[in-house]
Structure 1
């Protein structure tokens, strides 16, 4: 059994969770689980911002560190962190 603290999409109750920012690569092995987590939050009325980055693999944010193509996802993360 995988605990929901390890795989958040497996939660049975999303109602009391905090708003979330979720970004994932389109070809990431965890893409579908990330999308399912956002959907669970939305169904529970919890705010969730989901970004699926076209053509990107798992850990694209680290693999592309310093690359121009990673600028948009970095800017999105900075925007969210500043809003907290």
Structure 2
């Protein structure tokens, strides 16, 4: 992602295996290390984290998520 007026950004995806593990990691990063914010929308200039398996992809059923390679911990 790049915008000559605003700078550059990137995207990192981790599959923690379960939603519980993903939420624990995001909670640790946000509250213990002050690294990023947990958010459903990724439309902000600071570092944001989201468990998309249960948020942005929540409208998909289990079969659709499996076909797309989305686990609950992703």
TM-score category by the smaller chain?
under 0.3
Q: Output the TM-score relative to the length of structure 2.
A: 0.27
Query: TM-score, normalized by length of structure 1?
Result: 0.25
Greater helix content = 1
